[in-house]
Amino acid sequence: MVEEQKDGVILDVSVAVPRYVLSHDALAEARGIDPDKYRYGLGCEEMSVCGPGEDTVTLAAEAAWRLLKGDPERLSRVGMCIVGTESNVDASKSIASTLHGLLGLRPACRVFDIQHACYGATAALQMARSWVRQYPRQLALVIASDVARYERCSPGEPTQGAGAVGLLIGAASPRDACLTLSAVSGTYASDVNDFWRPTYQKTACVKGKFSVDCYLKGMVEAYDDYKAQVKASAVPEHMLFHAPFPHMARKAHRRLMVHQGHTDEIFLADDYRRRVEPSLWANRRVGNIYTGSLYLSLAALCEQEGDDLTGCHAALFSYGSGSCSEYFTGRFGQAVARPGLQAMLDARDSIGVSRYEVLSDASLALEQNQSFCEDIAPRKGQPFTFLGIRDHERVYRQNEIGRRGEDFARERVESLPRAIPGRDPGVGQRPLLDGVAG
Ligand code: CAA
């Protein structure tokens, strides 16, 4: 019997979202905007908001921890961990290094970050796929983690969000995969200033309408590059787009269909409803998570369609401002991921606009030296907590549940937090978090 060919595939998908959620209706009311603009014009319903103790690193670590599922065999096979992010918390140290410590990855492990706006995770994914082909006994973690911040009251504010997506990459037959990606990708790059964040700013700069045009041009060019390499390909049953706001996926679908010669309005609406809409429900409830946004749609589609996806084809479009675009396809195998997304989103604590504003101010306050505060309580099931900065070092605590992989399934916090061994905190400084923690 001929052994089935193994490829570098996506074996599993995980998601982590922060503690709080703000509804767009509440934000619209506070900003004096017609709520229909957010709901129908942008396609947004809710945005995830970080609480104290949550940042790009804790979200990344949680997504990775969820992929490992407390399985020592899985953990021992991880030989590479790449974090894609554009909201890094340090200009030098990689988030992947902190993950190495928090997760207890083995010493012989490559760890590094990739930054290219919302494209970073796709670059990481392609690199990890090639790497596991070379080291088929090993596994790679690809983690996309971001906290999207725009100026308060700016047009970008309703497109904020926070969260992380984890992809477990390994060598397997397409049958045993969640998703096997095409060997060929179409790519397009261009030096544009559509969206960026200077190192001296916490919020993004953006030329909104121009960024939409850059995205759409990048998509058409990347698609043409793909078609030039693949003469015949299956019509994908699903289309996943980078979704900074869900309505962007609608614009992208429309532009691509028109580019392919489809102009009938009834066909366009029906095709969008069948092939795009089923993947967008989580983006509507989380907001933009930058480099994880495309893969949040993948997680949502897996959860929504389950085993019905097996054998189906998907087209994926990744866009990172600046810019780099990639169009690629994939085929679902029998191991369709079950990320538990719906339950995770339903479990968030709902907040109003004033608390959202206090929390976003507090998260900036924690980004200062000596902001350290040791008694930040974790939310239920939160494996890692950011305690602030002490002597210019960021301090993370591994909560009880994060230390005990075997408790993964039960997801309960058994005791109050303790600091990472060897990093005992010393004197906590509470004032910055007064009235916010908890
Ligand atoms: N009811 C229903 N719809 C309404 C409405 C109402 N009362 N009022 C307005 N709308 C509609 C508008 O008609 C418009 O729809 P179309 O785009 O289909 O025409 C939509 O709501 C948006 O309204 P505006 O045109 O007035 O746009 P805006 O000033 O609110 O800005 C934005 C929209 C440019 C996307 C802004 O939110 C922004 O700058 N976002 C951040 C940048 C971004 O996401 N860019 C996307 C491409 S870049 C990228 O993808 C990288 C990344 O992740 C950032």
pLDDT at position 414, please?
Answer: 33
Tell me the pLDDT tens digit for each residue of 88-108. Answer: 999 999 999 999 999 999 999
pLDDT at position 409, please?
Answer: 39
pLDDT at position 405, please?
Answer: 57
- The residue ranges of the chain whose pLDDT is under 50 are 406-438
Taking phi first (over 0 means left), then psi (-120 to 50 degrees means alpha), and beta for anything else, what does residue 430 get? alpha
328 lines ligand 1 (CB under 6 A): no
pLDDT at position 6, please?
Answer: 85
pLDDT at position 252, please?
Answer: 98
pLDDT at position 418, please?
Answer: 36
By most ligand atoms within 8 Å of CB, the mutation choice from 42, 147, 154, 207 for ligand 1 is: 42
41 lines ligand 1 (CB under 6 A): yes
Tell me the pLDDT tens digit for each residue of 408-423. Answer: 434 433 333 333 332 3
Both tokens assigned to 293: 């946004």
Sequence-distant (≥ 6) Cβ neighbours of residue 365 within 8 angstroms:
371, 432, 433
pLDDT at position 365, please?
Answer: 86
290 lines ligand 1 (CB under 6 A): yes
Tell me the pLDDT tens digit for each residue of 62-74. Answer: 999 999 988 999 9
Atom of ligand 1 nearest to the CA of 242: 50
pLDDT at position 232, please?
Answer: 81
Q: Give distance in angstroms: CA of 162 to centre of ligand 1.
A: 19
